[in-house]
Amino acid sequence: MMWSDPVMRWFHILAGVMWIGLLYFFNFVNAESVKEATAAGEAGPISKYIMPRALAFFRYAAVVTWIMGAGLLSQPQFTVNGTNGFVAAFTLQGNMAPIGIGAWLGTIMLFNVWTFIWMNQKKLLGFTPATDAEKAKARRVAFLASRVNTMLSIPMLFFMATGPTTLGQAIFH
């Protein structure tokens, strides 16, 4: 085991907890709270102070999680029949297949964060100019992408925790 393995593993787990924790916060706590605060005319501080910071930690935790995961998969101990572990995971080879499914789900989730959630949240937060109609559409797209990520996180966590195991060998061979 290389010295970098435990360091990458630690940052992968730490950033992953932050990413998924914020995802669950946004979906299970924040969404309804903002509706209530908006109805009461008190949503301004949430949009001005909380959301920009929370979304920054959310976006960059997603990136760090993915990069550290890719680094872990590239470690020599995950080589499968001479194929780099990262490639073996993403091509669902042998015992790397379960973690590969998790990695694919995490990759889709990362793409959703940066492409659909963040791009639309910038309109809602006023970072990007948008009409009321554009904001309404942005709100819906960001909401749906966030809900998709919440649903994908469940199997993603299962397959990531499964890791390279005999389960992958049994199913994919």
pLDDT of residue 4 exceeding 80: no
Share of the chain above pLDDT 70, in %: 93
Distance CA 162, CA 17 (A): 17
Cβ neighbours of 67 (radius 10 Å): 15
Sign of the C-alpha dihedral, residues 120, 124, 154, 83?
A: positive
**pLDDT tens sequence across 86-97:** 999 999 998 898
Question: Which residues have CB under 8 Å from 137's CB, separation 6+?
Answer: none
Question: Which residues have CB under 8 Å from 25's CB, separation 6+?
Answer: 54
Distance CA 138, CA 59 (A): 17
Through-space distance between the first and last CA atoms of the chain, rounded to whole angstroms: 27
| Average pLDDT estimate for 109-114 | 98
Q: What single DSSP character describes residue 95?
A: G
pLDDT of residue 166 exceeding 60: no
pLDDT of residue 164 exceeding 90: no
The reported pTM is 0.89
Residues 81/155, Cβ–Cβ less than 8 Å: no
Give Cα 134 to chain centroid, integer Å: 25
**pLDDT tens sequence across 65-108:** 999 999 999 988 888 888 999 999 999 998 898 999 999 999 99
Domain range summary for the chain, segments of one domain joined by +: 4-34+43-172
